[in-house]
Amino acid sequence: MFNFFDELKNKISKVDNNFLNDYNLINISGKLLYVEGHLGVTIISNEMLAFKVKKGRIVVEGEELVLSELTENTLLLQGKIMKMEIF
Q: How far is CA 11 from the centre of its chain?
A: 21
Return the higher-pLDDT residue of 77 and 14.
77
Asked if 37 and 24 touch (Cβ cutoff 8 Å), the reply is: yes
In whole angstroms, give the CA distance from residue 20 to residue 18. 5
| pLDDT bracket for residue 2 (50, 70, 90) | low
pLDDT for position 6: 73
Give 14-69 pLDDT, tens digit per residue: 656 566 678 889 999 999 999 999 999 999 999 999 999 998 999 999 999 999 99
pLDDT given at position 17 = 57
Residue 76, in any domain of the structure: yes
- Residue 15 counted as domain residue: no
CATH number at residue 49: 2.60.40.2000
- pLDDT value of position 28: 93
CA atoms within 13 A on the CB side of 44: 14
Domain total of the chain: 1
Which residue, among 20, 44, 3, has the nearest Cα to 70 in the 3D structure? 44
